Amino acid sequence: MSPSPTPYKNQHYDILKKECQESKKLFEDSEFPCNNTSLFYKTPLPGRVEWKRPGEISESPQLFVEGISSHDLNQGEVGNCWFVAACSCLAGKPDLWQKVIPNWKEQEWDPKHPDRYAGIFRFNFWIFGTWTEVVVDDRLPTINGKLIYCHSKSKNEFWSPLLEKAYAKLSGCYESLSGGNTGDAVVDFSGAVNESISLEKGNYRTDPKVKDKLFSDLLKVYEQGGIISSSITASPAERELRLANGLVKGHAYSVTAVKRVRLGHGLLAFFKNETIPLIRMRNPWGKHEWNGPWSDSSEEWQKIGNMERNTLGITVEDDGEFWMSFDDWCQNFTDADVCRLINTSLLSVQKNWNEAVHFGDWMKHSDPLKNRCGGCMNHKETFLQNPQYVLDISQEEEEVLVSLQQRDMKIHRPRGAGENLTIGFAIFKVELNRKYRMHDIITQQNVATSTYINARTVFMREVLRKGRYVIIPSTFKPDTLGEFMLRVYTDKDAGCKELDQDKPHVSCWSSFRGYPQLVTHIYVQRAEGLENQDRSGGADPYVIISCENKSVQSVVQKDTRDPIFDTRAIFYRKKPRKPITVQVWNSNAIKDEFMGEVVLPASLKDSTDPQRLKLKQGASQTSEEMPGTISLRVVTSRQLTAM
């Protein structure tokens, strides 16, 4: 069972409701009072505001009228179409909205027992990794008796304005909801992982293969209960500008369906099996629709059989919901937010992911080794001062999902702040035995870098090969302070943890046992000439790097005589005069075959340049049996442990 939500501002719903029932008074929320501070911080409303309870607005108020639907919602005066679009998506997901609106039957008005009504409601939001319970009273802002903000088509339905009030409370006031991201609200409703996609920059408009893959991905997200939204970028002057095709710029739309629709009529349609990818959208205004191909009354619908049309539920009315081809969607919308509900349950028949969650801070410290706000890789001198997280990929190849999220900043808007930090992260392939923080970027392989953007969440999907990796989240500029949450999803448990130690610990026994004097990095890139070692024509080579009774073994390279090992090792050396050995072996089912070794002398100079070193022959082999040259491409780099 999931833990109980944490009460926001320590307000406990059950306690407050019981107190109101016993005193026979309706709840008044002192933490979100009915005054201007809860409405705005800059722009006053155009009219005299009166706070009214639902019973003063409607004779028979209800939380839900005939259930909950995406058609319930209409945007009000504040520019929070992004939030209304998220609510519209939420309404179509019973498993989600019943968690956001808990025990809704208990919260519903009961005309048979009016004495039980206490004027208090509760909603749950997933805030920075923790489910949080927010309570509000039922007093809603009105002008001329009408709700100012989000409202339902049914005058006596109140779930949407009450939910919006709870979210405004979290954000400081209603005006703080003006301008936002639909994906962020969906994450707050669900704990999903949000991926922002630029439809302009990703070749989705020009490359059919890329576009088809995107549709397949979105179809999978939709079928697995995920939530998708999209918008059209607009300048400040163009915001909410209605285009000739009916779409509105700078406006968030919810995606309410993703389908491959069968073309044709009758049995011929089934035998022909021709389909077209369509996507259904909803304008949170509840009006103004796309008027191009596949719009409500367009002639394209004549290509669809009656049974298929009935299944899709086509309605010809200006209700804000419409269909369009996926090609037109890619051409007309510029941005999409794809929120995946990542399955981590072992009991599910769907693919389950292993999740690692870490909370951290970008914080400043006078000691560079304790500083944790070094900025991005543009700042080479300070970048490695950022937090570092290590993980191991155990399969030959594995898709890894990484989500970096910062705290929501909207609550700071009333004091002139509230802008997101520009954040991102880099992934490095490191030594197989690394267990201390990185202090040298030259010897590491940067395999992926996210975009750096002032968004609340930065997401990346990356296929990583077997090995050890370090993820470094950072702000774009050094000395920028903030909190973050890093979520990493892998197929197998990757043992993801923070690297918090800079070097081996000094103990009272160090003087007796010895303490490392040098750090040596070894990078074995490849072996050449192995065809002279194996007369049968094939080999499964691997390398073992050994130093002071410690060793690191590479992955076995299957059926090759020109192996690329790409293997890194790091050693904290107590006896720097002792050599390091790199052995090459051929993997066999019965007994592995020794093929030779490189001995790196203690006197080898520090270097980051590749060195081709001849392998010593195996003890059982003679020079006549091993003609030609066998070489190993090795990179070495050393630095003092004192750093």
pTM of the predicted model as reported, rounded to 2 decimal places? 0.89
% pLDDT > 70, the chain = 90
Q: What are the tens digits of pLDDT across the range 500-554?
A: 999 888 877 777 777 888 888 888 888 877 766 554 557 899 999 999 989 999 9
Find all residues with CB under 8 Å of 513, minimum gap 6, and list them.
Answer: 574
Find all residues with CB under 8 Å of 507, minimum gap 6, and list them.
Answer: none
Find all residues with CB under 8 Å of 601, minimum gap 6, and list them.
Answer: 579
Give the mean model confidence (pLDDT) for residues 601-620.
60
Give the mean model confidence (pLDDT) for residues 226-234.
92
Q: Residue 610 in contact with residue 635, Cβ under 8 Å? A: yes
Q: What are the tens digits of pLDDT across the range 372-410?
A: 999 999 999 999 999 999 999 999 999 999 999 999 998
Q: Residue 135 in contact with residue 6, Cβ under 8 Å? A: no
Q: What is the pLDDT of residue 619?
A: 39
Q: What are phi and psi of 297, to 5 degrees?
A: -115, 25
CA 548 to CA 383: how far, in whole Å? Answer: 31
Which among 13, 226, 195 has a CA at the least distance from the CA of 103? Answer: 13
Q: What is the pLDDT of residue 462?
A: 96
Task: Supply the mean pLDDT for the chain.
Answer: 87
Q: Is the pLDDT of residue 348 over 80?
A: no
Query: Is 20 marked active-site?
Result: no
Q: What is the pLDDT of residue 610?
A: 64
Q: What are phi and psi of 640, to 5 degrees?
A: -70, 145
Q: What are phi and psi of 344, to 5 degrees?
A: -115, 10
> Which residues face 527 on adjacent strands?
632
Find all residues with CB under 8 Å of 182, minimum gap 6, and list them.
Answer: 82, 83, 85, 86, 89, 229, 231, 252, 254, 337
CA 109 to CA 306: how far, in whole Å? Answer: 41
Q: What are the tens digits of pLDDT across the range 10-50?
A: 999 999 999 999 999 999 999 999 999 999 999 999 889 99
Catalytic residue among 81, 150, 373, 547: 81
Q: Is the pLDDT of residue 630 over 70?
A: no
Residue with tokens 């992004």: 82
**Lowest-confidence segment of 16-20, 90-94, 313-317 by average pLDDT:** 313-317
Give the mean model confidence (pLDDT) for residues 466-488.
97
Q: What is the pLDDT of residue 193?
A: 95
Give the mean model confidence (pLDDT) for residues 556-585.
89
Give the mean model confidence (pLDDT) for residues 425-444.
93
* Residue 142 structure tokens: 């009105």
% pLDDT > 90, the chain = 57
The pLDDT confidence band at residue 625, using thresholds 50, 70 and 90, is very low
Q: What are phi and psi of 413, to 5 degrees?
A: -60, -40
Which of residues 494 and 600 earns the better pLDDT score? 494
Residue type, 38: S
CA 292 to CA 297: how far, in whole Å? Answer: 10
Catalytic residue among 74, 181, 194, 283: 283
The pLDDT confidence band at residue 622, using thresholds 50, 70 and 90, is very low
Give the mean model confidence (pLDDT) for residues 68-84.
79
**Lowest-confidence segment of 119-123, 147-151, 318-322, 368-372 by average pLDDT:** 318-322
Q: Residue 445 in contact with residue 460, Cβ under 8 Å? A: no
Q: Residue 91 in contact with residue 194, Cβ under 8 Å? A: no
Q: Is the pLDDT of residue 359 over 50?
A: yes
> Which residues face 121 on adjacent strands?
136
Q: Is the pLDDT of residue 627 over 50?
A: no
Q: What is the pLDDT of residue 530?
A: 72
The DSSP-derived string for 172-232 is: SSGGGGSS--HHHHHHHHH--EEEEEETTTSSTTT-HHHHHHHHHHHHHHHHTT-EEEEE-
Q: Residue 290 in contact with residue 324, Cβ under 8 Å? A: yes
CA 275 to CA 560: how far, in whole Å? Answer: 45
CA distances from 133 to 4, 123, 125, 366 (A): 9, 6, 7, 39
Query: Is 251 marked active-site?
Result: yes
Q: What is the pLDDT of residue 532?
A: 62
Catalytic residue among 74, 181, 251, 586: 251
Q: Is the dihedral of CA 437, 440, 444, 446 positive or negative?
A: positive
Give the mean model confidence (pLDDT) for residues 100-106.
94
Q: Residue 186 in contact with residue 337, Cβ under 8 Å? A: yes
The pLDDT confidence band at residue 441, using thresholds 50, 70 and 90, is confident
∠627-633-635 over CA atoms, to 5°? Answer: 150
Query: Is 12 marked active-site?
Result: no
